[in-house]
Structure formats: C-alpha cells, structure tokens
Chain A
Amino acid sequence: SEKLLKLAASVPRESLVAPGTCFGKFTKSQKFRLSVTALDFLAPYAKFKVWVKPGSEQSFLYGNHVLKSGLGRITENTAQYQGVVVYSMADVPLGFGVAAKSTQECRKVDPLAIVVFHQADVGEYVRNEDTLT
C-alpha cells in the first residue's frame, strides 16, 4: 500500500530489500511476468480455475504440467491458452497456469495429454527460494 511505500522510502536504497509484496517482474522486452508471490492476491479474483486431483498435486508442485489424468474439475468455457489459477481439491491455490486445451477439448483428449501448462506454483517457495524476488 502507499503508506508502506512512503515509509519504505526512508530506508537507504542499498538496504531496501522488499517493500510489501512483490507481484512479479518486468522482463527486458517490457512484458510483465507474474510470479507466484502474487497468488494470494489474484486467486480470489480468478475467473477460470482448474482443480487438480490429489495424486497429481505433488507433480504440479514440482513444476510439471497437468495431464488430463490429473485433472479434477475445470471451469466451463475456458478458452485455449487462457490463464488459469490451479487449485487443489481442497480449494487451496497451488499456482498459475495456462490452459492448453479449451474445456470442450479437454473432454475429448486422451488421459496423457497436457491440459494445463505450468507457469508458477507454490513449490517454488522451497525450490527457488533464492531467486524469488
């Protein structure tokens, strides 16, 4: 929040590590790459969600894509390449992804096809602790 930023301004620049929560980073080509630290903020607003079965929860947390066999539920009318938030069956947000197939196609494909591309997951807190912002 702004108040926080103003207070953070009083810390000398070299010393400041992180004011507030980091949402993501800007890449060299001016794109904004969202990072998993933004999950809490975005999850409630997600329009398109994907639920993952307990068995492939761990696999997603290791950074793998979600296969059809691991897919639990998916919101209706998800377009292809739509950004989604991945949840576990207990409604715990696990991370971000991109739908590889639209909802209709998901019904038709074979179980080993990828349905959600992995983008960011909470497992990264442990795996990439250092590179997190």
Chain B
Amino acid sequence: EPETGRKKLSSHGRKRAAKRRLGAGSGPAGKRPLGGGGGEREPTGQTARGKSGFSDGNSKWLVPAKAKKTQPKGNHVELSSDGEVEEGSWEMEEEEEDGSSDEMVDDYGASSSEEEELLPIEKSALKQKPDREGLSEDDSEEEEEEDEAEEASKQKMGQKEEEGPDLQLNVDIDEQFKLPTSEEIEKEDILFIYLHVIHQRIQGNMEVLQDFREKREEGRSRQEYLALLRRDMAAYYSYSDFLLSKLMDIFPLPELVNFLEANEVPRPVTIRTNTLKTRRRDLAQALINRGVNLDPLGKWSKTGLVIYDSTVPIGATPEYLAGHYMLQGASSLLPVMALAPQENERILDMCCAPGGKTSYIAQLMKNTGMILANDSNAERLRSVVGNLHRLGVTNAVVSNCDGRQFPKVLGGFDRVLLDAPCSGTGVISKDPAVKTNKDEADILRCAHLQKELILSAIDSVNAASETGGYIVYCTCSIMVEENEWVVDYALKKRNVRLVATGLDFGKEGFTRFRDRRFHPSLKCTRRFYPHTHNMDGFFIAKLKKFSNAIPQARKDEEPAVEAAAPPAVPDTSTAEPLPKKKKLERSKAEEEQKLPQPALKKKRSLQAQKRPLKA
C-alpha cells in the first residue's frame, strides 16, 4: 500500500492513494480535510486531533499541527529541510512547520528505517514527541531557550539527529537569517542538505553576531550564539573544538570564516628559480615550451614563479632534474629574504629539511661562504643532500645534530635561520589531519622545544660579526603560543632585539593577546595567512643580537667564553669587552640597568652594519 509503504509519494500520489483507499465516497471528504486542514491548520488542528480526525485513511499522515510555535517563525527552514516539494508548498500556504513535520513523520514514520533517519525534520519531529512530553506545548520562547540549552548541553557534535530541534529553535532566534529557497537542491543528497543547512545557519548566526544589538533575539546571550557557532563550524569544517576555540581567539569572525575556507583549498604550486644555474625568464620560457602555465610570483620576489597548471609533472621535468628550480611554497621564500644572507658569511640553518631554504640561502650567497645545514631527522636529511646536489650548492655542510646542541658543536655564525618544528596550524590545507590531532599539550610541547631552540640559535650567533648578528625565527604556525610568546621569551632571556624583517607586506604580530602582554617591538614581526596572502600561514621574526653576553649572569664564565669565541674580532667589537666587564662587576645587574648599554651597542652595531655597505 502506498500509504503504509516505503515510497515517498507526491501530493498527487497521496491523494490518489487516499482516493483508492477510501473509494469514491470519501474522496471529496478526503480532499476537503486536506484543504481544510491546510487552510486552517491551527484551529482545526486541535479539534481534528481530538476527534477521530479524518475518517479516511489519511489520518495516519494527516495530523494537524500543534500550534507550538507562534507567528514569528516566518521560517522556511523546515521547508529547506524537507525532502518533499509538496510539503514545502504546503508550508508556503500555511507557514506551519509543525504540520509539515508531523506530516512528514507520519508519512515516513513507518519507513524511517533507512535514509530518512537523517532527515532533520524527522529527527526534529521525533524529538518533539519526547519534548512534548517533557515540556508543555508552550509558545514561549523561554521554553525554547531551555530546549536549546538542553540540546546544547546534551548534544555532542556527532549526533546530528539532535540538531533538528536546534534548527527550528535557532531559526526562531535568528529570524533574519536568509533562508534557502529551493527545495530541489536538498532533495538530492541528505548529507548535503545537512551540511548546507549548517552552513546557512553559520552565516545567519554570523550576521546576527555582527549586528548584535539589532538582530539579537530577546533573552538570548551572545555566548549562546557563539557556542552554537563554534559547534557548527567545528562540524562543518571538521575541526576539533580546541583548535576552533583557539582560532576564534585569534581571528575576528568574518576573517575566521575566510581562514577556514582557505584551509579547505590547496595553495597554488610555486617554484623558485635557482639563480646558480639559470635565470627566471629563461626558466619560464623553457617551462612554457613544455606546456606549463605560469606567472611571476609577485613584486616582492625575483625568483618565484607560480604554476597555474601544467601538462607535465612539475617535479619531473628535465629542468627540475637539472636543478634549475625548486618546488617550494611561497611563504618559505620569506624568511630567507628576511635573513638577507651576504656573500662570504657563515650561516647556520638549524632545521633545514628538505633543503629549500638552505638552497635559497646558498643561491643568494652565490655559493660563497659556508652554510651549515642541520636537521635532527636523519631520513629527511637525505632529501636535503639530494636537493643540494641537484641544485648545485657547493658551500653547504650537512649535519645531523639536535638543534639544541648548537653552540657547543659550532658557534660564531654570522646569521642563523631557525625554521622551528611547529604544530603546523598554518599549513592545514596541506595536512588536514592537523585540524583534529592537535591539542593543548601538543602546542605547549612545540612551544617548549621552540624556546630551547631559539636560545641555542641566539647563542650560536656572533654578535660581533661585521655583517651579521641576525637570527630569523620562523614557523609555519599561526598560534600565538608558538610565535609571539617564544620571541618574547627570547627577548627576555638574551641580549637580542627585534628588527624590521624587511618584508613590507603581511600582518604585524600581536603585541598583546588575551591575557598576555608582549614586548611592543613585536610589531616588527610578521604574520601571513592563507586567506589574506594566498600562501601558507607563517610567522617571521628577525632578531639582532647586540651582545654575546648572556644576561642574568648565571654563569660568570660564559661571557668570557663568548668573547673568546668569535674567530676574528673586528675593531667595532672593542666596545664589547667594556660593557662585558661592567656586567661582570655587577653580577646581579637588573634588566633596567642593561638598557643604557644596549643603546650604546645599538649605535655601534648599526655603524658596523653601515660600514660594509659603504665599503
């Protein structure tokens, strides 16, 4: 029987079925209640329910709506959730969610075993039954609030069934939501309906939050909206709650959506020309001849190219194999540009695998000087070696030490690049697993390691070097704990100060974040995001070391050792021993007293920098 059957029936189908069941006599009767019930759902509803309803077989599915909700539900969210056109059309007529939902339930209640289980309307209807028992059928929004609160407290993210009533309730809250109009879309795939609805709800919620004073629902707090938004976003974009809360702290809401959307899409493939072997336009020409569609990366880079599409695999062209270019993310070019290595310098790259930045440093130095490329992971070092050989880098020594051993192994470098191991929250588009597998402990562990590494990096630099004394600290993460906090820690613990990175684009780093306050010079650091710059999330800080002494004088011998370390002590460093002696005298020097000294040293180090330029 169609009525008790498993099929979805159109309105015509149902009418026909009804006719068939009842025979000619009750045909008109059957129709009339339909029309009548449709026309005056509310009044007749109760009564019709009270009496035997309709004597025809329609009673099973034609149950009048309870007037559970008041008018302001101008909402067609139910509409959208319906899988049925005619339900929608009925809705249009009467604007009664419940009726349709009830009808839906009755219609499909029997056959709700399979795919209909997911129908939110179904679920909402099912929910309403216990709800009906639990709560009185008030129209009061207070009830709905409680309901919603109950839902919120009961629900876990995975239980989508319970979202149904929230759906309705939320629509009550956020009346001005733009509601989806065409039911046909939702017919196609139930899961899509569901995500689509969540998406709509997110957007509606955000609209309300933007203009909270006007658009809010009476009696509902901002926290509730935010909580719902968080849950929705976590479900829609598949993030863990922890990570999403962190992101909500960092980004304002509209930007957050952009960020999340950008993480779903991979960043464009970019390559870096190896200027040791070729020129950018020659390379571009050669690749175009092979059938690659490319463009220069931007004004800020002279060696980058972005690949739009290609008929040949970019990682296997003869040019690649000949070492003319390197596949590298655009954001990885930035720390090396900030580092600005000069020729004949000694540079340390503490976490170099797979060697992209190292080779860029080498090409900027034109294979002069010396680079120590270090990584603690031996397997990844093989790719470093391969890349360096392929690209024709001759001035690199590759080593496999733990970065924290550094000044002991070899110190006195001119510049150090520290691309610290991080939680990877800036490269979610490359590794979606990060969305769910990072938690508080991971982030803190990373931060701890990064702090140790940055101190080692700072200690490995010779502040007295003529052309250098710089450390560039960068991570591919956007978390404040791993970025600003680590740099702030370094500022407190060592004689370094932040300098401008030389990158004129990118967002400035945070100088304060929630309850933490950082040093104001953190404005010089730069943050890059996938949604604003179309490159991987990145953080770059450039530090200048102005003294080889280690503050706090916890080891009085250390300053002396450091002073002896630099192999060639240029004239400008004669100023260094004097302040150091002063430090040794006042072994318990306060931080403030050191400030005048840095000022002195600043001038000298600036002079030191200017000298090579002039020369």
Residues of A within 8 A of B (CB): 1, 3-4, 7-8, 10-12, 14-22, 37, 40, 57-58, 61, 88, 90, 92-94, 121-123, 125-126, 129-130, 132-133
Contacts and interface: CB of A to CB of B under 8 A. Distances in A.
A61 B277 CA distance: 19
Given A16-B397, A129-B383, A40 B409 contact: no
B318 A57 contact: yes
Interface of B: 277, 286, 315-316, 318-319, 321-324, 346, 370, 372, 378, 381-386, 388-390, 392-401, 409-410
B386 A19 contact: no
Contact of B319 (A4, A92, A129): A92
A132 B401 contact: no
Nearest to A14: B400
A9 B386 CA distance: 21
B354 to A, nearest CB: 10
Centre residue among B321, B393, B394 by max chain A CB count within 10 A = B321
Given A88-B318, A90-B286, A123-B321, 20 more contacts: A1-B395, A7-B346, A7-B372, A8-B397, A10-B409, A11-B399, A16-B400, A17-B381, A17-B385, A18-B396, A18-B398, A21-B389, A61-B321, A92-B322, A93-B322, A94-B321, A121-B321, A129-B382, A129-B386, A133-B389
30 contacts: A3-B370, A7-B397, A10-B409, A10-B410, A11-B399, A11-B401, A11-B409, A12-B409, A14-B400, A17-B399, A17-B400, A19-B398, A20-B394, A21-B389, A21-B394, A22-B389, A40-B392, A57-B318, A58-B318, A61-B321, A88-B318, A92-B319, A92-B324, A94-B321, A122-B322, A125-B390, A126-B316, A129-B382, A132-B389, A133-B385
Contacts of A122: 318, 321-323, 390
B410 A11 contact: yes
B401 A15 contact: yes
A130 B398 CA distance: 15
Centre residue among A17, A22, A121, A129 by max chain B CB count within 10 A = A17
Contact of B397 (A20, A37, A125, A132): A20
Contacts of A121: 321
Nearest to A133: B385
B400 A15 contact: yes
B416 to A, nearest CB: 15
Nearest to A60: B318
A122 B323 CA distance: 9
A128 to B, nearest CB: 9
B450 to A, nearest CB: 21
A20 B409 contact: no
Contact of A125 (B321, B378, B395): B321
Contacts of B389: 21-22, 37, 125, 132-133
A1 B318 CA distance: 28
Contacts of A18: 385, 388, 396-398
Contact of A61 (B318, B392, B401): B318
Nearest to A17: B398
B318 A92 contact: yes
A4 B370 contact: yes
Contacts of B395: 1, 4, 20
Contacts of B346: 7
A126 B390 CA distance: 10
B318 A126 contact: no
Nearest to B346: A7
B261 to A, nearest CB: 34
A46 to B, nearest CB: 15
A12 B322 contact: no
Contacts of B321: 61, 94, 121-123, 125-126
A88 B372 CA distance: 33
A18 B385 CA distance: 7
Contacts of A133: 385, 389
A14 B378 CA distance: 11
Q: Shortest 6 CB-CB distances between A and B: which pairs?
A: A122-B321, A37-B389, A17-B398, A18-B398, A8-B397, A15-B400
Contacts of A40: 277, 323, 392
Centre residue among A19, A125, A129, A132 by max chain B CB count within 10 A = A125
Given A16-B399, A17-B400, A126-B316, A132 B385 contact: yes
